[in-house]
């Protein structure tokens, strides 16, 4: 009986060593028995980096429990409309890193940024030139441009889907009682010259939802919760990789400190104030109005 026990203990020590601080990662890895190779790879890396983090920081038990409580509250904040973990990933610059890794583009192609939580699949289709501002509030803006591939070949029939906040920094879905449904969002198609254009208003910067743990963390880090003024756009066409991107306004006070790290230099688009009455009339807006030319370059699959 005694010898059986000893033999059993010896086997265990050889195959799966007991936990030690030094060999903590090996203790975990030796017990991995996944059928899914990718899952095994992800878990091994996760634990390797997590243990390295703990060894670096050496948290007290109280500090570790503060972290656990923070993650618990992050989960408790989530519901059908609110995804606090995505906000956490956004403010830690992880969303933009995942986006960058998954959307490496050749030089000259329109760069991607995060989708954000205010995208709606169900959005109106418009003819070029339509006004997506349904309540007439804000400074008029005309956006116009061309869709082409990296060789300068124009693309007809590309879909340009846009959505943006209003002049006070709120999306339609945040103010269902104050803004018309589908205010400041819509879909356009490039014409036979690859051109699209629409009328809108100049959007304002806005804070990301900051009444939960992600917002509290921003405060603790000494950071503000603002995203600089922008228009979201998704450009897609048959046979091409679609791109999810933004048009940023260079005059915004938050252009250099986006709380979700979403700004890329190539996506800051110059715009002008046009005071000429005849041009305003031609575009169906009142003078003065803002004009932004935003071309898009998408890449063949
Ligand atoms: C947005 O641009 O709509 C957005 C992106 C990330 C977090 C919150 C909002
Ligand atoms: Fe946004």
pLDDT of residue 16: 58
Shared domain check, 122 and 33: no
Domain assignment of residue 51, given as a range: 2-58
What is the average pLDDT across 233-244?
98
Shared domain check, 247 and 101: yes
For residue range 172-209, what is the model confidence (pLDDT) as tens digits?
A: 999 999 999 999 999 999 999 999 999 999 999 999 99
In whole angstroms, give the CA distance from residue 84 to residue 73.
9
Shared domain check, 31 and 119: no
Shared domain check, 271 and 187: yes
Shared domain check, 120 and 216: yes
- Measured from the Cα of 87, ligand 1's closest atom is 7
Q: Assess contact for 135 and 150: CB atoms under 8 A.
A: no
What is the share, in percent, of the chain residues with pLDDT greater than 90? 93
Shared domain check, 273 and 217: yes
CA-closest residue to ligand 1 atom 3: 116
Shared domain check, 116 and 12: no
In whole angstroms, give the CA distance from residue 1 to residue 235.
73
- Name the more confident of 4 and 31: 31
For residue range 89-116, what is the model confidence (pLDDT) as tens digits?
A: 999 999 999 999 999 999 999 999 999 9
Q: Assess contact for 233 and 161: CB atoms under 8 A.
A: yes
**Residues recognised as catalytic:** 171, 206, 227, 230, 232
Q: Is residue 79 part of a domain?
A: no
For residue range 54-88, what is the model confidence (pLDDT) as tens digits?
A: 999 999 999 999 999 999 999 999 998 899 999 99
Q: Assess contact for 117 and 83: CB atoms under 8 A.
A: yes
- Measured from the Cα of 171, ligand 1's closest atom is 3
Q: How confident is the model at residue 5 (pLDDT cuts 50, 70, 90)?
A: very low
Q: Is residue 80 part of a domain?
A: no
Can you give the pTM of this predicted structure? 0.92
Q: Is residue 155 part of a domain?
A: yes
Q: How confident is the model at residue 2 (pLDDT cuts 50, 70, 90)?
A: very low
Neighbour tally for 146: CB within 10 Å: 20
Pocket test for ligand 1, best of 81, 83, 87, 117 (most atoms within 8 A of CB): 117
What is the average pLDDT across 263-292?
96
pLDDT of residue 15: 59
In whole angstroms, give the CA distance from residue 132 to residue 124.
9
- Name the more confident of 13 and 188: 188
In whole angstroms, give the CA distance from residue 159 to residue 86.
27
- Name the more confident of 15 and 288: 288
pLDDT of residue 1: 44
Report, in angstroms and rounded to the nearest whole number, the Rg of the chain calculated over CA atoms.
Answer: 26
Shared domain check, 133 and 269: yes
Shared domain check, 160 and 32: no
113-117: long-range contacts at Cβ-Cβ below 8 A with a sequence spacing of 24 or more?
Answer: 113/244, 113/245, 113/246, 113/262, 113/263, 113/264, 113/267, 114/90, 114/244, 114/260, 114/262, 115/232, 115/244, 116/232, 117/83, 117/86
Pocket test for ligand 1, best of 226, 227, 228 (most atoms within 8 A of CB): 227
3-class SS of residue 244: strand
pLDDT of residue 81: 87
Q: How confident is the model at residue 9 (pLDDT cuts 50, 70, 90)?
A: very low
Whole-angstrom CA distances from 289 to 17, 43, 155, 166, 198 are 71, 54, 28, 16, 13
**Mean pLDDT across the chain, nearest whole number?**
94
Q: Is residue 281 part of a domain?
A: yes
Number of domains in the chain: 2
CA-closest residue to ligand 1 atom 5: 116
Q: Is residue 67 part of a domain?
A: no
pLDDT of residue 6: 43
Q: What is the domain-level CATH number for residue 265?
A: 2.60.130.10
Q: Does 265 score more than 90 pLDDT?
A: yes
Q: Is residue 202 part of a domain?
A: yes
What's the longest Cα–Cα distance across the chain?
101
What is the share, in percent, of the chain residues with pLDDT greater than 70? 94
For residue range 124-179, what is the model confidence (pLDDT) as tens digits?
A: 999 999 999 999 999 999 999 999 999 999 999 999 999 999 999 999 999 999 99
């Amino acid at each position: 009986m005694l010898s059986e026990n000893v033999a059993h203990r010896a086997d265990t020590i050889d195959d799966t060593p007991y936990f030690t601080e030094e060999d903590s990662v090996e203790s975990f890895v030796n017990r991995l028995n996944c059928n899914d190779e990718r899952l095994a790879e992800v878990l091994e890396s996760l634990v390797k980096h997590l243990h390295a983090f703990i060894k670096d920081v050496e948290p007290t038990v109280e500090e570790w429990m503060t972290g656990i409580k923070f993650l618990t509250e992050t989960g408790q904040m989530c519901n059908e409309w609110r995804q606090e973990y995505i906000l956490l990933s956004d403010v830690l610059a992880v969303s933009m890193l995942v986006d960058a890794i998954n959307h490496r583009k050749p030089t000259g192609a329109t760069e991607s940024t995060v989708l954000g939580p205010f995208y709606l699949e169900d959005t109106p289709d418009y003819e070029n030139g339509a006004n997506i501002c349904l309540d007439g509030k804000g400074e008029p803006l005309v956006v116009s441009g061309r869709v082409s591939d990296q060789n300068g070949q124009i693309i007809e029939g590309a879909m340009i889907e846009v959505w943006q906040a209003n002049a006070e920094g709120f999306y339609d879905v945040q103010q269902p009682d104050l803004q018309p449904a589908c205010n400041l969002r819509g879909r356009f198609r490039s014409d036979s010259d690859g051109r699209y254009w629409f009328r809108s208003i100049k959007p304002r910067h806005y804070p990301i939802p900051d009444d939960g743990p992600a917002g509290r963390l921003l405060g603790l880090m000494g950071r503000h919760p603002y995203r600089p003024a922008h228009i979201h756009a998704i450009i897609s066409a048959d046979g091409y990789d679609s791109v999810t991107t933004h048009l940023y306004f260079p005059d915004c006070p938050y252009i250099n400190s986006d709380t979700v790290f979403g700004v890329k230099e190539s996506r800051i688009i110059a715009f002008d104030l046009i005071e000429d009455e005849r041009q305003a009339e031609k575009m169906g807006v009142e003078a003065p109005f803002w004009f932004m030319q935003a071309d898009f370059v998408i890449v063949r699959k």
